[in-house]
Structure 1
């Protein structure tokens, strides 16, 4: 059974008590979104090829899909400039910038987890 993202984001049709947590994880989940977020947050404005290069091993198709989802969720703004060749830039919205505390908390928790995991291996 495949994961259905849209019903998870609608708490009116999702009777789970922790729907808001599921919605947050649906918006931020996946292998690439937090990496994309971190890079755009650090650079403020990024072009598609700059993002692809900064992330590394990601296909153009996957990056485009992740950016499209993040834009649809209101985390990013995609600006297209009418130039030849076309220039497209991505930046965080106010909602996207509001994730800074959540991101920092996840980063801190991850560091603690990794430190404890090292200690468990040594013991």
Structure 2
């Protein structure tokens, strides 16, 4: 089971501080998980600029120009945010029993551990 999934709120824990133009300390929602969990795309973090060659479609409209979008960052550089304290925290798993149609099933459930200090 993955520690970080699409839709989770995460915080960047490495890199340059925000006052120096970096992304450390920023929080954002995970838009995409890439390569089996090694990289994640976080909303509003790690913007890059891509220059596309100007072209023309068959209808005559121009394409290309400068695009800005989020680039993926490594999953070890982000930490899950505890929904109660809004601080970065570690992730734990516990076994819970679910009853579905009269059948008991043991499943692993992800939960945020208690965050005493910032990571």
TM-score (norm 2): 0.27
Higher relative CO (Cα under 8 Å, sequence separation at least 6) belongs to 2
Q: Give the greater-gyration-radius structure (CA).
A: 2
Flag the structure with higher helix content.
Answer: 1
TM-score (norm 1): 0.27
Flag the structure with higher strand content.
Answer: 2
